């Protein structure tokens, strides 16, 4: 697959479903939607490989390979891959100076069936189905903290401003 250098790097779960979910079952779309408030998806080189991160980019204490303190890093909770209109979960992530892999990504990956494994550009993924979507989403929600009250207040204010603007537009027409 050719790399796209003009793609949007961060997208919401709703945008992900709109972009890739045409062939997903309703059960998968509904359960993915449960991640909407807490999660954001990021991508780097490929449009169809997206890291799962907390919407507030929460920082966690970490250690490097030599067990030395390396400060704090944001967790990536694995990756969603869409290959041939099928959804896959991978325990990989784009690790770097500010991002590290959450331990829950291996837990989820190891508990998925090995029946439908795909390899895309060196990234191994296991297929997400109606049979395992509940486990994946519930485990992610258990380990991905809820958003802060400050975040909720900010979103409420944005919604309020958008509604006010919409009312002005409707009133003028």
The string of pLDDT tens digits covering residues 112-121 is 998 899 999 9
- Nearest CA-CA partner of 82 in 137, 139, 6, 28: 28
Show the tokens assigned to 143.
Answer: 């380990």
The string of pLDDT tens digits covering residues 8-55 is 899 999 999 999 999 999 999 999 999 988 889 999 889 999 999 988
Query: What is the sign, positive or negative, of the torsion defined by CA atoms of 62, 102, 150, 18?
Result: positive
Show the tokens assigned to 57.
Answer: 């980019």
H or E, element range at 163: helix 149-172
The answer to whether the pTM exceeds 0.75 is yes
The Cα–Cα gap between 114 and 125 comes to 9
CB atoms within 10 A of CB 141: 16
């Amino acid at each position: 697959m050719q790399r796209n250098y003009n793609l949007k790097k961060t997208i919401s779960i709703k945008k992900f479903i709109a972009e890739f979910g045409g062939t997903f079952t309703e059960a998968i779309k509904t359960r993915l939607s449960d991640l909407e408030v807490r999660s954001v998806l990021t991508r780097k080189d490929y449009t169809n490989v997206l890291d799962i991160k907390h919407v507030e980019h929460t920082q966690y204490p970490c250690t490097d390979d030599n067990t030395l303190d390396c400060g704090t890093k944001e967790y990536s909770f694995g990756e969603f891959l869409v290959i041939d209109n099928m959804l896959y979960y991978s325990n990989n992530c784009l690790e770097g100076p500010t991002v590290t892999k959450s331990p829950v990504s291996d837990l989820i990956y190891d508990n998925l069936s090995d029946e439908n494994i795909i390899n895309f550009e060196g990234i191994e993924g296991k297929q997400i189905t109606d049979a395992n979507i509940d486990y994946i989403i519930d485990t992610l929600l258990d380990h991905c903290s809820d958003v802060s009250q400050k975040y909720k207040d900010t979103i409420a204010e944005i919604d309020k401003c958008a509604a006010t603007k919409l009312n002005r537009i409707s009133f003028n027409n």
